[in-house]
Amino acid sequence: MAQIPNLDNSPLNLKSLREQSQKDLVKILKDIRGKKCLVIEPKLGGSLSLIIQTSLLKEYGIELRHLSAEPVQTDCTKVVYLVPSQRDLMKSISSHVHDDISKGLQREYYIYFVPRREIQCERILEEEKVHHLITIGEYPLYIVPVDEDILSFELDLAYKQCQVDGDTGSLWHIAKAIHKLESTFGVIPNVRAKGKASVLVSDILDRMHTEEPMNSSEMALSEINTLILIDREVDMVTPMCSQLTYEGLLDEFLRINNGSVELDSSIMGVQQEGKKMKVPLNSSDKLFKEIRDLNFEVVVQVLRQKATSMKQDYTEMTTTNQTVSELKDFVKKLNSLPEMTRHINLAQHLSTFTSKPSFLAKLDMEHTIIEASSYDICFDYIEEMIHKQEPLVNVLRLLILFSVTNSGLPKKHFDYLRRELLHSYGFEHMATLNNLEKAGLLKKQESKSNWLTVKRALQLVVEDTDTANPNDIAYVFSGYAPLSIRLVQHAVRSGWRAMEEILKLLPGPHTETKRLGFASSPSFATLQGASNGLDKIADGRRSLVLVVFVGGVTFAEIAALRFLSAQEGMAYDLIIGTTKMVNGHSLVETFFETIG
Amino acid sequence: MANVSVAAEWQLLYNRYYRKPELYPLRWKNIDLSRNKVACAPFGGPIAVIRDDSKIVQLYSESALRKLRIFTSSGVLISDTVWKNPGGRLIGMSWTEDQTLICIVQDGTVYRYNIHAELIEPNVTLGKECFEQNVVECIFWGNGVVCLTEGGLLFCFPDFKVMRPCQLAETGAEDLPNCMAVIEPKYTVSGNVEVLVGVGDGILIVDEDGVQRVDGEAVQGPVQKMVVSWDGKYLAIFTHDGRILVTDINFKGVLLEYNCESALPPEQLAWCGLDSVLLYWDDTPLLMVGPRGDPVHFFYDEPLLLIPECDGVRILSNTSLEFLQRVPDSTVSIFKIGSTSPAALLYDALDHFDRRSAKADENLRLIQSSLPEAVEACIDAAGHEFDVSRQRTLLRAASYGQAFCSTFQRDRIQEMCKTLRVLNAVRDPEIGIPLSINQYKLLTPSVLIARLINAHRHLLALRISEYVGMNQEVVIMHWACSKITASLAIPDATLLEILLYKLKLCRGISYAAVAAHADKNGRRKLAAMLVEHEPRSSKQVPLLLSIGEEDTALMKATESGDSDLVYLVLFHIWQKRPPLEFFGMIQARPLPRDLFISYARCYKHEFLKDFFLSTGQLQEVAFLLWKESWELGKNPMASKGSPLHGPRIKLIDKAQHLFAETKEHTFESKAAEEHAKLLRIQHELEVSTKQAIFVDSSISDTIRTCIVLGNHRAAMKVKTEFKVSEKRWYWLKVFALATIRDWEALEKFSKEKRPPIGYRPFVEACVDADEKGEALKYIPKLADLRERAEAYARIGMAKEAADAASQAKDGELLGRLKLTFAQNAAASSLFDTLRDRLSFQGVS
């Protein structure tokens, strides 16, 4: 099975989007004649693995390298860098060029920036006096389809840059990406945004529309009915909680990267000692599609059932006489055997983590914090974690959860915990703490927390969640309904207006826009009439809602969204856009800055 | 009959009719073609006239200074200028495809004029050799030229758009060539220009890379003149013995041969479409030769200039401009004397109809099923007419026929009317572009519009583009720019109003481009006003910078939300202004400020410090210093424990002082102080233990390391020095002792006093180290029953765990513990009984 997801079942024609990106890349490579060395920034390489198979690239006379500080070792006279527009990479490239010059190597250099060239990068090349030696181009990859309903803008640092550095460049990229979608699938008539960054994205998007008005004749009837923008800032509680769906847990423990996990082959039952292998995880795997969004407890049961029924079939097969068609059915079932084995292996591996008392204790603590009932127990628990020098990320996740739900910590505790952190993990983490403070994730308490009100109003804690037959999104966290998805649930159902009061309690402004300039479209009248909620598009297809998470989204949240979309009486397909697939770990890690 | 008079003007060449309607009587006065060098642009383009300095001519009442004059095809003066260019005699003059006049003088300098007789800077030259050798002949094609020097070298501009000269291969011939012709790059296999050179007894093909001799039956003996047809497929050759030959471009076969009985080559040799060739000597009639039949003579009593077009030849004389063309088939079928074709009958029917004669009906009946063809022929013939009233009659005939014809495509007439309206509009003598319909189709409407605006015929261009449904942006844009150039006297505000009024006509037009033009014309204020209206920030901002509106640029860039634009402005101001002024500009603007900080943090540390100092953000400076101290530590040159710690600690001290300046940063100040202290202690420890393992580890790690090394006194010292809490101290020491498996010391430690955090750390440490025996020492001491139960469970003692859990009366815990012992049937039943008993209690 390939890592590149099969997009045939996507509610949007994402395949054409991906094919365009493939073509763009191939064109760049073809246009540079002859043999060349392609140097890709590793993270970008990961994203590209969702676009094109690397083996295909080799057909164009390419030696493939990953960008690092080390000089490029190659016989090719043409070196092509494919890199995101990041300042720090420019230094590496400049040093490569200087290194070649000092060795007397004459090479042609090309830099293709993803998704566009930026002055700040070129400026560094100029200062390093290599700009004139390099041919600069662009590879406009704004959107990477991660799965049939997930689009990633591949901006992994977006949240940190916005919150800590005040660098909102990524918001422009998001708007641009959405604008690109609109140029293919039509202008989205309804836009709802919550949170500072979301509103900014919506503003920039509006601006793009006035700057380059889409020709109404060229414009297709909009395939996407509504855009909902949710700023991660609005809900930092959810990503800090441990995800309990199958896919979420895989991500928590094994880290899903660009739709696959890498693990020891021995875990997958392949006897190759010490070798790592990649296991792709996307909806092309039918079994995975079925179980990815289930609570892990249930997954184990489902797998057991399947295995049992298969065993039964097998015994029947060996003991009784079968007709040919029954044989055929059986063989068909056998086809799913590799998938079964794969997920049984994975699930088994996961349960070694989930059965640990420490994991259960952590879950317990997360719920205690969310319940916001016993401050002291939580405080003591976190204090002890620090004293035991448990991994810093784990501590910070819980601490952020604690601080956010309490809207900060009393100054005494704040200073005390920070001091203990610095003492235990080293003073270099001062910068990390400073970043978290700037982002408002770990701060001094200045006002009373309204978490309890929010929790109650949005029914975030659901008692007696039946994870096997869920009737609410709370099943993804075994009893906690993710705040972000509750917002989406309301936004889809009735727009913001019905929940103004609650929205005001959450950080950042909210806006609701109707795009005009849409009058020529025949469906305008029906859309107008649908101000409360959305209507079905006339042809009976379900209309589409694009939910964009500015700052990242977790697999558990996506599971909750898919659950919503699968509910009866829900007239919309949901498609998810995100700056990056994240979890608590990866999100917290972006704030890490060891001084130096 | 009218029909007869039309055909009476035709000339028959073998079986083809030719006609040469007069396009214009020329409006110019006192222009004698024989005294002048004349360059006419194809497609009815302008005519450039300048006195020929290679001829001795008598001056009448005119200045001795030569004047370059540019006329329309109808002889209306567009512009003129005095020719004062150095470089010797004017050798070649021709119009390019985009209507630039190229003038090449003896020394190889190329002067370029636009249609308004304004010199386009810079002048270009063909190169040093040309300068030394003198140019003697130039052969132009639509977009390039080949020049021959006295030394027999060939130079070439392959593309006037690029204006980069190149030299062609040397022919090696001793004599100068008799004649030359050019095959345009677009018709050659190589895509490079090829020159046919008639030298000695034959023809050479010369291009950039080499020379090739031509063989073929057409080439037998010296060639005196040749010319390539406009489609690049045929070549007309005038031979040394006075014959005119036509051969295909690869010299295969002779398609036409005619003996002109003249030893002298004709002065002009031109293709008329692709059907015949015209030869012109100035003392004999104009001769037209076709592939078969007797040639046709046209008599003129004044000098002529032949202007080849794709579908004929325009004949320019001192007084008139005519268009010689093969009569189109549709026209022949209607107007040929005695024609009974359906089209002729239809045309005739209209005539009867107008005269209310019943014969009209009779004619129609005769045509019957051929009516659609007849209508089509009338429409087509109308298209080829220059005479408006005849166009009208033909179209009326077509329309009359169409009325009886159900199957005909009705928009054909409408389309033709549209085309003719455009053609008639530009053919007006005031405009003077006598395009035939074929030329118009080849030229395309957009090029025609470009030519009109180039000639400042904006209104007409606008009307045409509107009429044919093309984007008017080009026209309006050009108009706006021309208007600005021409309106030096109009005040900015007024001009702005005039411009805006028209610019508004076109959605999405680039105001920035117009503004840029205004700025180039020295009207900075107008530019600033115009750029205000540009909706696209990416175009607006760079322009604002170039006109010095930095503040506005920064504002607009920020509004756009595009960080790249903000950086553009930032770098611009950064470079131009002194630092303090720069800081002042960005300080109050969050986005530019943050972007600057973010960039400088990565690349300009010192400058960033200046910024923070100027804004009084001392803590930020402190953070930077702290960071630098860390970088010093990472420096591989600084081996641990080396004197480099001196500067590191100094930096941290400095940071600490800066933090201390503000009340809000006491925590940071304290931390910095502790950090410095820690480094000193670690340094001492490394010296005393002679092990470089302390520096840059945390306080907790330092304590652990000390304990692991058995240096309890040092550990204690660190503990007291940093006021480490008892709680943390216990965790650290317990884990450190477990690491070195010093169970004895651990037990001793547990008995020192009652541990402030209970015995859990001891249990955990032992369990983690898999020392059940040791763990059992502490488990019973656990105060919390649940903890005790779980601890038992972790070391696999089900019964004890169950006891503790039931003591704790915690059903949930029992359930969980049961799961842990799932494999152990005995244990799990134990838990079940206990739980049952519990719930029973709960009920009772």
Q: Which two tokens stand for residue B272?
A: 């008329």
Closest residue in A to B538 (Cα–Cα) = A211
Q: Beta strand A224-231 with A543-550: parallel, antiparallel or unpaired?
A: parallel
Contact state of A383 with B727 under an 8 Å Cβ cutoff: yes
Q: Which two tokens stand for residue B496?
A: 């702005």
Q: How far is CA B757 from CA A26, A398, B148, B639, B750, in A?
A: 64, 21, 103, 40, 11
Considering only CB atoms, which chain B residues are within 8 Å of A116?
564
Between positions 397 and 416 of A, the ones with CB within 8 A of B are 415
Mutate to test the interface with B, among A157, A383, A427, A444 (most CBs of B within 10 A): A427
The distance of A596 to chain B (nearest Cα, Å) reads 5
Distance CA(A237)–CA(A451), nearest Å, equals 10
Place B4 in a pLDDT band, splitting at 50, 70 and 90.
low
Considering only CB atoms, which chain A residues are within 8 Å of B670?
419
* Domain edge (last residue) among B167, B200, B226: B167
Q: Beta strand B276-280 with B268-272: parallel, antiparallel or unpaired?
A: antiparallel
Task: Note the pLDDT of residue B1.
Answer: 41
Distance CA(B469)–CA(B460), nearest Å, equals 14
Q: Beta strand A78-84 with A108-114: parallel, antiparallel or unpaired?
A: parallel
Neighbours of A444 (CB within 10 A): 15
**Residues B155, B109 contacting (CB under 8 angstroms):** no
Closest residue in B to A173 (Cα–Cα) = B562
Neighbours of B430 (CB within 10 A): 10
Which residue from A106, A97, A25 is spatially nearest to A64, judged by alpha carbons? A25
Residue B258 falls inside a structural domain: no
In the sheet that holds B268-272, the strands lie side by side as B268-272, B276-280, B286-289, B296-298
Chain A and chain B share a number of CB contacts under 8 A equal to: 134
- Helices B359-367, B371-384: crossing angle, 10 deg rounding: 110
Task: Note the pLDDT of residue A520.
Answer: 39
The distance of A165 to chain B (nearest Cα, Å) reads 6
Closest residue in B to A125 (Cα–Cα) = B603
How far is residue A327 CA from its own chain's centroid? Answer: 43
Residue B794 sits at the chain A interface (C-beta within 8 Å): yes
Which residue from A501, A532, A553 is spatially nearest to A226, judged by alpha carbons? A532
Closest residue in A to B730 (Cα–Cα) = A387
What is the 3 state secondary structure string of B135-202? EEEEEEECCEEEEEECCCCEEEECCCCCCCCEECCCCCCCCCCCEEEEECHHHCCCCCCEEEEEECCE
Q: Which residues of B461-473 are buried (b: 16+ CB within 10 A; e: fewer)?
A: bbbbbeeeeeebb
Considering only CB atoms, which chain B residues are within 8 Å of A87?
599, 602-603
Distance CA(B431)–CA(B451), nearest Å, equals 11
B561, B623, B725 member nearest A168 (Cβ): B561
Contact state of B626 with A213 under an 8 Å Cβ cutoff: no
Residue B563 sits at the chain A interface (C-beta within 8 Å): yes
Helices (H), A82-168: 87-102, 119-127, 158-160
- Residue holding tokens 């249930």? A298
Residue B508 in this model has a pLDDT that exceeds 90: no
Closest residue in B to A118 (Cα–Cα) = B564
* Euclidean distance between the first and the last CA atom of chain B, given in angstroms as a whole number: 129
**Residues A234, A506 contacting (CB under 8 angstroms):** yes
Contact state of A204 with B560 under an 8 Å Cβ cutoff: yes
**Residues A282, A292 contacting (CB under 8 angstroms):** no
Range of lowest pLDDT (A531-535, B94-98, B410-414)? A531-535
Closest residue in A to B563 (Cα–Cα) = A169
Q: Which two tokens stand for residue B287?
A: 């001769």
Q: Which two tokens stand for residue A140?
A: 């406009």
Q: Which two tokens stand for residue B753?
A: 């006093």
Residue B782 falls inside a structural domain: yes
A124, A415, A425 member nearest B667 (Cβ): A415
Distance CA(B261)–CA(B255), nearest Å, equals 19
Between positions 172 and 201 of A, the ones with CB within 8 A of B are 172, 175, 200
Residue B503 falls inside a structural domain: no
Average pLDDT over all residues of chain B: 87
Residue B126 falls inside a structural domain: yes
Residue B829 in this model has a pLDDT that exceeds 80: no
Q: Indicate the helix (H) or strand (E) that contains A152.
A: strand A150-152
Residue B488 in this model has a pLDDT that exceeds 90: no
For residue range B316-367, what is the model confidence (pLDDT) as tens digits? 999 999 999 999 999 999 998 888 899 999 999 999 999 998 888 888 888 8
Distance CA(A39)–CA(A579), nearest Å, equals 24
Between positions 677 and 736 of B, the ones with CB within 8 A of A are 678, 696-701, 722, 724-725, 727-728, 731-732, 735
Place A394 in a pLDDT band, splitting at 50, 70 and 90.
very high
For residue range A261-280, what is the model confidence (pLDDT) as tens digits? 988 888 887 776 678 888 88
Contact state of A211 with B568 under an 8 Å Cβ cutoff: no
Residue B474, amino acid: V
Between positions 208 and 237 of A, the ones with CB within 8 A of B are 210-213
Distance CA(A511)–CA(A500), nearest Å, equals 10
Closest residue in A to B718 (Cα–Cα) = A423
Domains of chain A, each with CATH number or no CATH: 14-141 (3.40.50.2060), 146-237+471-587 (3.40.50.1910), 246-354 (3.90.830.10)
Dihedral sign of CA atoms B227, B229, B231, B232 in order: negative
Residue B128 falls inside a structural domain: yes
Between positions 43 and 102 of A, the ones with CB within 8 A of B are 87-88
Cis peptide before B122 (omega within 30 of 0): yes
Please work out, in degrees rounded to the nearest 5, the angle formed at the alpha carbon of residue A282 by the alpha carbons of A280 and A287.
Answer: 100
Q: How many residues does chain A have?
A: 596
**Residues B91, B107 contacting (CB under 8 angstroms):** no
Considering only CB atoms, which chain B residues are within 8 Å of A204?
560-562
Residue A126 sits at the chain B interface (C-beta within 8 Å): no
For residue range B109-125, what is the model confidence (pLDDT) as tens digits? 999 999 999 998 888 88
Q: B680: domain range?
A: 607-808
Considering only CB atoms, which chain B residues are within 8 Å of A175?
561
Helices (H), B263-328: none
Residue A169 sits at the chain B interface (C-beta within 8 Å): yes
Q: What pTM was computed for the model?
A: 0.76
Contact state of B722 with A596 under an 8 Å Cβ cutoff: no
Instruction: Supply the CATH number for residue B773's domain.
Output: 1.10.150.780
Q: Beta strand A62-66 with A36-40: parallel, antiparallel or unpaired?
A: parallel
Considering only CB atoms, which chain B residues are within 8 Å of A422?
671, 674, 698-699
For residue range B629-660, what is the model confidence (pLDDT) as tens digits? 888 777 655 544 455 567 888 889 999 999 99
The distance of B735 to chain A (nearest Cα, Å) reads 8
For residue range B188-234, what is the model confidence (pLDDT) as tens digits? 887 788 899 988 888 888 988 888 888 777 777 888 899 999 888 89
- Residue holding tokens 């960054």? A197
Residue B61, amino acid: S
For residue range B146-196, what is the model confidence (pLDDT) as tens digits? 999 888 888 999 888 888 888 888 888 778 888 899 998 888 887 788 899
Contact state of A87 with B599 under an 8 Å Cβ cutoff: yes
Q: Which residues of A139-150 are buried (b: 16+ CB within 10 A; e: fewer)?
A: bbbbbbbbbbbb
Q: How far is CA A240 from CA A398, A405, A486, A557, B751, in A?
A: 7, 11, 16, 12, 40
Which residue from B642, B547, B651, B548 is spatially nearest to B605, judged by alpha carbons? B651
Residue B738 falls inside a structural domain: yes
B571, B668, B671 member nearest A119 (Cβ): B571
**Residues B511, B500 contacting (CB under 8 angstroms):** no
Residue B842 in this model has a pLDDT that exceeds 50: no
Dihedral sign of CA atoms B478, A215, B538, A27 in order: negative
Residues A474-502, mean pLDDT to the nearest whole number: 90
Q: Which two tokens stand for residue B732?
A: 């650290």
Closest residue in B to A417 (Cα–Cα) = B667
Helices (H), A320-468: 324-335, 337-354, 357-371, 375-387, 392-405, 411-425, 430-438, 451-457
**Residues A426, A389 contacting (CB under 8 angstroms):** no
Distance CA(A161)–CA(A591), nearest Å, equals 9
Contact state of B667 with A118 under an 8 Å Cβ cutoff: no
Residues A503-528, mean pLDDT to the nearest whole number: 65
Distance CA(B686)–CA(B640), nearest Å, equals 9
What percentage of chain A reaches a pLDDT higher than 70? 93
- Sorted by sequence, the CB contacts under 8 Å of residue B831 that are 6+ apart come out as B798, B802, B805, B814, B815, B817, B818, B821
DSSP code string of B512-523: HHHHHHHHHTT-
Residues A91-96, mean pLDDT to the nearest whole number: 92
Q: Which two tokens stand for residue A459?
A: 């029914």
> Could you tell me the maximum CA-CA distance found in chain A, to the nearest angstrom?
80
Considering only CB atoms, which chain A residues are within 8 Å of B728?
386-387, 420, 423-424
Range of lowest pLDDT (A409-413, A496-500, B645-649, B686-690)? B645-649
Task: Note the pLDDT of residue A136.
Answer: 94
Instruction: Supply the CATH number for residue B80's domain.
Output: 2.130.10.10
Residue B89 falls inside a structural domain: yes
Residue B718 falls inside a structural domain: yes
Considering only CB atoms, which chain B residues are within 8 Å of A387?
727-728, 731-732
Q: How many residues does chain B have?
A: 844
DSSP code string of A434-460: HHHHHTTSS-B--S---HHHHHHHTT-
Residue A422 sits at the chain B interface (C-beta within 8 Å): yes
Contact state of B724 with A423 under an 8 Å Cβ cutoff: yes
Residues A187-202, mean pLDDT to the nearest whole number: 93
**Residues B699, A424 contacting (CB under 8 angstroms):** yes
Residues B24-33, mean pLDDT to the nearest whole number: 89
Dihedral sign of CA atoms B620, B621, B626, B627 in order: positive
What is the count of structural domains for chain B? 2
CA dihedral A529, A531, A535, A539 (to 10 degrees): 50
